[in-house]
Amino acid sequence: MIYPGIIGTGLYVPSKKLDNKKLSNLNKISVNEMFKKTGIKERRIAHDKETASEMGYKAALKAIKSSGVNKLNIDQIICATFSGDYVYPALACKISQKLELDSPGCFDVMANCTGFQTGVNIAFNNLKNSKNIKNILVIGVAMQSRYINWKDPHSSIYFGDGASAAIISDVGKGYGHLGSSLISNTSVYESVRMRGGGSSYPNSVGKKNFFKQYYEISGLEVWKQVVTFQPKNIKLALKEANLKLKDIDFFIFHQANVNLIKFLMSRLSLPMKKTHITADRYANTADASIGITLDEAIKRKKINKNDIVLLSGVGAGFVFGTTILKWAY
């Protein structure tokens, strides 16, 4: 019997900072208004020559070191991203190349801002269902700055770049994966999107119409979706795990913005000490945000052995995912 869980984590954020004062010069929103609306003070932006695969590679190295697993014993790489180096091949393949691994299975998943949680959940299932898989590397990568119109007041205030990673392995009876849920509300599919570069809006050489590869977002719709569907999704995961909300020791949420997390915690009647915030310093790091926040919480000893930990995210589409596990170290 396999009991899959997380045995090591890592994060990487670029050194370049874009604070609200600098951003205000571009989008003409006051520093105070930006902070009041989001709770975000600054975000990290990749350097011009920095790549998504480089960010993912650096986060992966930290997770591998943290886990103590020999990198040559990694059997699969699952990369959660929508901002890879290329449209294809999969970013997971490029990161495997950088790590010089021994032919692991590699593929990408796209669940947007709940990508890391979804990747971890896929890894749990793959570990349970295969006798040949022992260690899986899950990576979340957000190279978003290349797709942000920093002059757009509706989108520029929310996002930043970063990467996170985790090693998934057997953690022994009584620990690891307890339950999960994944649901969607596709009626608001168009509310958060990037059309340019998609097959319906291709940016082909010589094409008369060149579609801008910029984020388009309705912040109000994101708020509505989170407060309506995320509690429902959490309840479904709790039901599968045969647990109550009071049984959860610590909550790791996708970092859409600080105010939204505070509101969600209030909606669930939970104290803020039961969660960790990274959005104030890194903004919304999309697929990477849950892993970044998890790694920081572990390093700050907010999560300890035997804790019941809940990971929950929401991504464009809209996709809602929650995974519950008992911490093994």
Identified catalytic residue from 106, 112, 113, 177: 113
Both tokens of residue 160? Answer: 């930043």
Cα dihedral 220/221/226/232 (nearest 10): 140
| Residue 254 is a catalytic residue | yes
Report d(CA 299, CA 304) in Å as an integer. 10
Report d(CA 263, CA 249) in Å as an integer. 19
Angle at the Cα of 323 from the Cα atoms of 318 and 328, rounded to 5 degrees: 155
- Of the candidates 249, 257, 231, 242, the residue with the CA atom closest to the CA atom of residue 322: 231
Identified catalytic residue from 135, 254, 257, 276: 254
| Residue 79 is a catalytic residue | no
Give, as one character, the DSSP assignment of residue 300. Answer: T
Sign of the torsion formed by the C-alpha atoms of 277, 268, 298 and 166:
negative
Give, as one character, the DSSP assignment of residue 159. Answer: B
Concatenating the DSSP letter of every residue in 235-291 gives HHHHHHHT--GGG--EEEE--S-HHHHHHHHHHTT--GGGB---HHHH-B-GGGHHH
Identified catalytic residue from 27, 233, 257, 284: 284
Both tokens of residue 170? Answer: 């057997």
Report d(CA 28, CA 26) in Å as an integer. 6
Report d(CA 277, CA 248) in Å as an integer. 17
| Residue 121 is a catalytic residue | no
Report d(CA 264, CA 277) in Å as an integer. 13
Angle at the Cα of 307 from the Cα atoms of 305 and 312, rounded to 5 degrees: 125
Active-site positions read: 113, 254, 284
